[in-house]
Amino acid sequence: MVFSSIPFLFFFFPLFLFLYYILPFKYKNKILLIFSLIFYAWGEPVYILLMLFSTFVDYMNGRLFEKKNFRNKKLYLIIALAINISLLGFFKYSDFLIEVINSLFNVSIPLLNIGLPIGISFYTFQTMSYSIDVYRKNVKPEKNYFTYLTYISMFPQLIAGPIVRYETISEELHERVVDFNGFTTGLLRFMHGLFKKVLIANNIGYLWTVISTSTTGELSVMTAWLGLLAFSFQIYYDFSGYSDMAIGMGKMLGFNYLENFNYPYIATSITDFWRRWHISLSTWFKDYVYIPLGGSRVKKIINIRNIFIVWALTGIWHGAAWNFVIWGIYYGVILLLEKFILKEYIDKFPKWLKHTYTLLLVMIGWLIFAFDDMTLLGNYTNILFGIGNNPFIDSSFIYYFSNYFIIIVIAIILSMPTYHIIKDKLLTIKDEKTELIIFIIRIMMYLLLLIITTSYLVADTYNPFLYFRF
């Protein structure tokens, strides 16, 4: 999907910003909508019709819900949700379902091979949350369809989140501050994300690609673990980098999106990890699935059911393959164990052991997540745990580790709140001369990183966004 993002960011985005800032406020939503649709059409123009249909259904539902004498609100909500889920299900899961039917009943129904609309998993959840929130009277319905369409199609977060609820930016859609301070703050946040994505995720992701595509018989145990560590950092810096860029672009336009990551790799339990990773998705399932099912304020057996449902859906949301189903169940089981059995024991662990426990389980989770081929997953798992004749360590591990040592160290340091701690301490300095020196050094660092990043983008063809496929 890079064809729809990198050219846009480096050509259309500056043009868009120029028009966005010089035009009066009453035109800002219009120019944002036009450029958002251009951005979406750059990749898959035909699927704009799908987005228009989905948004129109939920917009009309919202208008109907505001009528005092309107009956059957619940029925219309169910219809709207059914339409959204059906569209998502058809485009994302139809071939997977056909494969399951073919396998179970030994038939040969041909696959549809329909392309997945970009960002459909994200904007479908946004449209559904809008209908539910209007139905619950948590938000007032949007009266202008084009304003509502602007909210759904907003390009900074359209492709890979975060999932932005209408209530978060409903006021800003009509009145927001667009100024130099927001521009500079947003630009720096955008650049943070760009650096994380290009300089860390891409580089360490290439190591994972090389190792994971090697013949399994040639891998040593330590090389397999090094590859899994590389993927763990790739997916974090890839997705959190995109979220940073989205939040930064939103800030430049006057929108304040909520945070999507909070240093998940410093978590001390799996429960803590999922409070820090992909926060917008976790809270979506909590507010729209888990709590409506009864949450934890029900009998223990019902609570267990609720957790399994949420995590089965979380796994399926990520992709139409058995590994995602297994991945969701894997986390459901661990969270149940932590909630009902392990918590009292984990709380007694020293902090380093809590981190070790959490990171080990998270990395095993990423192993399941990474392979949609069950045979490859099984082979790689066997190597990790020394099942077979693979050596414990070999020259390949030493070569890869020595070449990627610096990037691994940087990835480890930046996965902790080190930068924010240093920045907060520097901000407490009130001496004008020291402030000026720090400012100059900071600008020089950003310029240097920008030059390096640009050179990588120009020269490097390896530039995947992992979450674009969801």
What is the Cα–Cα distance from 144 to 433, expressed in whole angstroms?
51
Give yes or no: 192 in active site.
no
Q: What is the DSSP letter of 257?
A: P
Question: Are the CB atoms for 30 and 57 separated by under 8 Å?
Answer: no
Q: What is the DSSP letter of 115?
A: P
Give whole-number Cα distances, 295 to 45, 119, 161, 292, 350, in Å: 40, 28, 25, 7, 30
| Residue 24 Cα to chain centre, angstroms | 33
Number of other residues whose CB lies within 10 A of the CB of residue 452? 13
Residues in contact with 303: Cβ distance below 8 Å, sequence separation at least 6, in sequence order: 294, 295, 296
What is the Cα–Cα distance from 302 to 269, expressed in whole angstroms?
23
Task: Say which residue the tokens 């926060």 belong to.
Answer: 279
Closest CA to 197 of 388, 390, 399, 9: 9
Task: Say which residue the tokens 């580089």 belong to.
Answer: 203
Catalytic annotation, pick one of 174, 192, 318, 355: 318
N- to C-terminal Cα distance for the chain? 11
Closest CA to 265 of 277, 254, 250, 253: 277
Query: 3-state class of 440 per DSSP?
Result: helix
Q: Which amino acid is at 462?
A: Y
Active site residues: 318
